Amino acid sequence: MALAALALVDSGGLESLTMRRLAASLSVQLPTLYRLFDNKQALLDEMAETVLSGVLGRVHLADDAEWAQRITALARALRDTLLAQRDGARIVGGAYTTKQHTLTLGETMQASMREAGFPADIALWASTTIFSFILGEVLEQQGATGGEVEALTASVSGERYPHFAAAPLALFVDFDARFDFGLRVLLTGLEAERARSTVDTSVQPSPPAGPPAT
């Protein structure tokens, strides 16, 4: 039933998801939904779980990959998963995130970092930081209307925003490049954090993470 709800969101956006429409699409009576979910929020939580359940399946990576490559693959998989579902970021961001697939994802990220020598607290915060960054980026991308460049161009035309005017505005809405940049910056910063915090690892310190293939 979470799948049917996600299909409704895919075709009409999150606003179009109503308990009545979901009941109709499932050919059940409206009160029947309330025996499956306590309320609409419980349905949305389940939808968030369903969306996230697809993430690990998207990760294709050798087990002996560098930690930065593994984190990159996980981050990309999460972003792609959110983008694949209309309003995916709003669904996931609005749910209470302590259920199974959320934990599995965080666990996997932390595992890669612990193996690479990160302390437990750093590994935890690194995964929450990456998660927040991805959520914020996809939220903005999925909220973009397509007319953003036009609106920006109009707003920026004067002399009040010289720096926005200096960068080609297309860069602002090049969400793939924005994401790659931000992720690379995070990984470079994390590598420095590891060098600072690890006293001894059997792994040779690798050079700053470097640009992941773009």
Partner DNA sequence: ACCTGAACACCGTTCAAGT
> Which positions lie near a copy of itself, rule CB under 8 A?
93-94, 96-100, 103-104, 106-107, 110-111, 114, 120-126, 128-129, 131-137, 139-140, 143, 145, 148, 151-152, 155-156, 160-164, 166-168, 171-172, 177-178, 181-182, 184-190, 192-193, 208
How far apart are alpha carbons 16 and 9 in whole angstroms? 7
Shortest distance (Å) from residue 94 CB to DNA? 14
Nearer to DNA, 35 or 163 (CB): 35
Per partner kind, with CB cut-offs from 5 to 8 A, the member of a copy of itself, DNA, none near residue 35 is: DNA
Within a 13 Å sphere around the CA of 162, how many CA atoms are in the beta-carbon half? 1
Shortest distance (Å) from residue 71 CB to a copy of itself? 12
Q: Per CB under 7 A, does 58 bind DNA?
A: no
DSSP string, 92-138: HHTS---SHHHHHHHHHHHHHHHHTT--HHHHHHHHHHHHHHHHHHH
Q: Per CB under 7 A, does 34 bind DNA?
A: yes
Residue 203: both structure tokens together: 């792994």
How far apart are alpha carbons 48 and 103 in whole angstroms? 13
> Can you give the length of the chain in residues?
214
Shortest distance (Å) from residue 28 CB to a copy of itself? 26
Per partner kind, with CB cut-offs from 5 to 8 A, the member of DNA, a copy of itself, none near residue 203 is: none
How far apart are alpha carbons 109 and 107 in whole angstroms? 5
Query: Applying CB under 7 A, which residues contact DNA?
Result: 17-21, 28-32, 34-35, 39-41
